[in-house]
Amino acid sequence: MKILAIISSPRKKHTYDAIKTIESIHKQKYDCEYEYLFLNKVDLQNCRGCHLCLTKGEEFCPLKDDRDMIIEKIESADGVILASPNHTMNVNWRMKNYIDRFSYQMHRPSYFNQRFMILITSGSYRGIKEATKALALMASGGKVVSKIGVMNSPGMNDKKREKQSKKLQKEAIKFVNKMKKPFIYNPPFGHLVWFSAFKAVYEGDTDESSADYRFYSTKKFFVDMNLSFGQKFTLKLFNGLFGFLIRIGMV
Ligand SMILES: Cc1cc2nc3c(=O)[nH]c(=O)nc-3n(C[C@H](O)[C@H](O)[C@H](O)COP(=O)(O)O)c2cc1C
């Protein structure tokens, strides 16, 4: 099993330690290959907010850096740990830049074969929920199988530390167990609705320069696969519903 840990803390402390603990739990029981990707060590330049990745396509991004190398690493991993410290009730700026640089994957998802763990380390419980929610979006079409907040507040006593350590152990095992099973992508209901909505938006459009139009007009679904009757029906139903809402100006 190949696991890629993407870490946005610039220092090797709480976030790094939490991942190292997970790695050692995994390596005690399973044959795992770990790779660490530190966002402060790769060339991922700051998003300029030009919108070109969203509108024309990610290949038009003016920043030429390690973005595609990161994508290749994610795609060749079975599991990905996205890890950030909580900075002011959210992910830190490096991880926020990562989120913005890959924002186009919220329009045109990928990573359908990957399983994700979202890990936030924090001085207190405040902000863990917000940071986790922001970061979980970066799984794109992949499945988030584990979410964990790891606290290092000065008020942590032995009992709380013990409880946290057990939770980390449990989540680490859960994450790896999901990867052990042969993975067959079975579209969740949310993906069927997601696809239907975007497809409906771009159905009335014929703008060849729009990346979303090109993506949705050529696809029956995100992944080329045999969908069941129920799944096809759901796609049709929601496509019709969104189409109607668009026509009456409600979307
Ligand atoms: C700029 C900054 C902002 C922070 N904001 C919060 C916060 O809002 N809530 C919190 O509980 N901890 C906060 N912390 C503490 C870190 O989340 C916590 O110590 C984290 O585990 C640090 O991870 P690291 O050691 O991997 O860098 C903040 C730390 C920094 C440096």
pLDDT tens for each residue of 93-136: 999 999 999 999 999 999 999 999 999 999 999 999 999 999 99
Q: Looking at ligand 1, which atom is closest to the CA of residue 17? A: 26
E strands within the chain?
Answer: 2-7, 33-38, 79-85, 115-122, 143-151
Q: What's the average model confidence in pLDDT over 14-33? A: 95
Do residues 134 and 90 touch, judged by C-beta distance below 8 A?
A: yes
Residue 195 CA to ligand 1 center (angstroms) comes to 36
Return d(Cα 184, Cα 13) in angstroms, integer. Answer: 36
Q: Is 123 in the pocket of ligand 1 (CB under 6 A)?
A: yes
Residue 85: strand pairing partners: 121
Residue 149 CA to ligand 1 center (angstroms) comes to 12
**Protein residue closest via CA to atom 4 of ligand 1:** 87
Does 204 have pLDDT greater than 80? no
**Protein residue closest via CA to atom 10 of ligand 1:** 123
CATH superfamily of 2-180: Flavodoxin domain (3.40.50.360)
Q: Which residue has the tokens 């996205």?
A: 82
Residue 90 CA to ligand 1 center (angstroms) comes to 9
Q: What's the average model confidence in pLDDT over 11-22? A: 97
Residue of 87, 96, 126 to test ligand 1 pocket, by largest number of atoms within 8 Å of CB: 87
Q: What's the average model confidence in pLDDT over 145-161? A: 94
Return d(Cα 53, Cα 194) in angstroms, integer. Answer: 19
Question: SS3 of 35, please?
Answer: strand
> Residue 159: which pLDDT band, with cuts at 50, 70 and 90?
very high
Angle made by CA atoms 232, 237, 243, in degrees to the nearest 5: 125
- What is the pLDDT of the chain when averaged over all its residues? 95
- Name the nearest CA neighbour of 111 among 36, 37, 5, 185: 185
Provide the angle, in degrees to the nearest 10, between the axes of the packed helices 158-180 and 14-29. 50
Domain boundaries, the chain: 2-180, 189-247
- pTM of the entire structure? 0.95
Q: Looking at ligand 1, which atom is closest to the CA of residue 125? A: 11
Q: Is 196 in the pocket of ligand 1 (CB under 6 A)?
A: no
Q: What is the pLDDT of residues 32-50, one digit of tens each?
A: 999 999 999 999 999 999 9
Residue 85 CA to ligand 1 center (angstroms) comes to 6
Q: Is 9 in the pocket of ligand 1 (CB under 6 A)?
A: yes
Exposure of 124 by Cβ count < 10 A (0-12 exposed, 13-18 middle, 19+ buried)? middle
- Name the nearest CA neighbour of 223 among 113, 95, 79: 113
Do residues 211 and 65 touch, judged by C-beta distance below 8 A?
A: no
Q: Looking at ligand 1, which atom is closest to the CA of residue 89? A: 8
- Name the nearest CA neighbour of 87 among 10, 161, 164: 10
Least-confidence region, from 39-43, 176-180, 242-246:
176-180
Q: Looking at ligand 1, which atom is closest to the CA of residue 122? A: 17
